[in-house]
Amino acid sequence: MLEQFVEKNPDDAFARYGLAVECVNEGDLAAAETNFKQLLANHPEYVAAYYQFGRMLAGANRPAEAREIFTAGVAHAAQAGDEHARQELQAALDELG
């Protein structure tokens, strides 16, 4: 259902985020990565996506890429004035070491 909605509304950030997270939950990491990348390319202000995408990459043993995503997320959260998200992203980044 989300896939159909995203096909009809490809620029809907919330739907694309939901689809990416659902792909992660189903274990389709390639599709999740595609959706996260497209979401962040079109909506770099969508801070929650950095956290979920970074977690997915870290869980897939891709720490360097996760670090890049978390770092970008920290910057965007700070720019948006979203201190809570910035702290969560920084904590995730710190966990990677």
pLDDT in tens, 39-85: 999 999 999 999 999 999 999 999 999 999 999 999 999 999 999 99
Full 3-state SS string of 15-48: HHHHHHHHHHHCCCHHHHHHHHHHHHHHCCCCHH
Q: Is the dihedral of CA 75, 76, 82, 85 positive or negative?
A: negative
- Domains in the chain, please, with CATH? 2-96 (1.25.40.10)
pTM score of the predicted model:
0.93
